[in-house]
Structure 1
Amino acid sequence: MAIVCPVDRKEAPDAGARARIMDAAEKLFAGGGYDATPTARIAELAGVPKGLVFHYFPRKIDVLISLVDERTVVTDEEVEAFPGDPAGTLSRLARRIPLRASPAMRRILFREADTHRSVRERLGRLNSEIIRRARFALELALPGSRGDAARLEAAAATFAAVLIYQESLCLLTGHHIDPDAVAELIAHALGNLG
């Protein structure tokens, strides 16, 4: 007769639970802010036990960090430039390399950047990456312009600010900034380069 030992099986966590926790946290953090959102409320909205939240995220701040790192992305597409056409180049860049973040994530980024260093650092990295790509696109569009690095940097930073901040400004004020118009303005300002 064979002796059968019971196997110590731990229940595998629900495969979709982490995503539901992240969705719930995104909604709650965007609505009332990180500090005003208890972990129990995240679990309730996600439809999971509170302990499962801590299984995936040992501390509440880990939920915020994961949201910011995973749900605010600058796509990894190559920069395309049209030599002699900085406005067209920047317009194309605005369409191909958007900041991939929901309106809720943008609210979270700007709200929590003042009080959470990890969020501020992520926003800084996103801004730096968009500036880097815009500057590179402008260098390609304006051959021979590298000698005026300060103006290219200022133009790239201005364009990055529009890409990152325009949706948040639109939510607050209702005013939409057209990236194509900004591209034209920047191209006009850089008109004598290249």
Structure 2
Amino acid sequence: MSDSRTRILDAAETLFAETGYEATSPARIARAADVPKGLVFHYFPQKMDVLLTLIDERTEIEESPEEPPPADPAGALRRLADRLPLRASPSMRRILFREADTHRTARDRLTALNHELVHRARRALELALPGSRGDAARLEVAAATFATVLLYQENLFHLTGAHIDPGALADLITRALSLSICVTSTWRPS
């Protein structure tokens, strides 16, 4: 990737986060990136292409190397939370949540991140809690709860600076799920 393209994206990320997409002109991006305005259009024919590229390139959930099934379900969820992409860039977090209201691409990316996070949380729980595989509904609720709180936390942090500890959340969810599985497996109707 060229240095100019990276500088343009870095400048756009900063400006979109500070003032929003609508209030940021390509000329302003060019000034902040210290490049000619024509170079912005060379890499990104329309201003929307800058936003789309930022979303596509800077909001992926990090892939992790193939790991053995975790013995600790809360640890599995904590590792997943550590790979949540928006933690690496408060600016991208701000952009994604702000622009999701008005730009379908941002909303679609946020939806895809949620689905991917639920899927990975469910898979981590299945691997860490082998007895849970027969309880699809509880696994889905636990995974969806984990994803919802993490994504809400990202938005809450942007708005208030408040922080929810993902480790505590992982412990709470896995303890509740483990207890639920234990109770379900020992209770037999007469």
TM over 0.5: yes
Matches within 5 A, 1:1-194: 15-77=2-64, 78=66, 81-83=69-71, 85-95=72-82, 97-100=83-86, 101-190=88-177, 191-193=179-181
Aligned alpha-carbon RMSD (Å)? 1.9
Q: Which has the higher helix share?
A: 2
Q: In 2, Cα distance between the equivalents of 1:23 and 1:132?
A: 30
Offset at residue 188 of structure 1 (A): 2.2
Pair 1:155–1:19, CA change in 2 (3 A): same
Give the conservation status (yes or no) of the 8 Å contact 1:75–1:98.
Answer: yes
2:188 paired residue number: none
- Count the aligned residue pairs: 179
Instruction: Give the TM-score, by structure 2 length.
Output: 0.86
Give the conservation status (yes or no) of the 8 Å contact 2:58–2:85.
Answer: no
Larger Rg: 1
Show structure 1 runs of 5+ residues with no match.
1-13
Q: In 2, Cα distance between the equivalents of 1:162 and 1:53?
A: 37
Q: In 1, Cα distance between the equivalents of 2:20 and 2:161?
A: 21
Structure 1 runs of 4+ with >4 Å offset: none
Offset at residue 79 of structure 1 (A): 5.6
Offset at residue 163 of structure 1 (A): 2.9
Offset at residue 81 of structure 1 (A): 3.8
Q: In 2, Cα distance between the equivalents of 1:80 and 1:152?
A: 20
Show structure 2 runs of 5+ residues with no match.
183-190
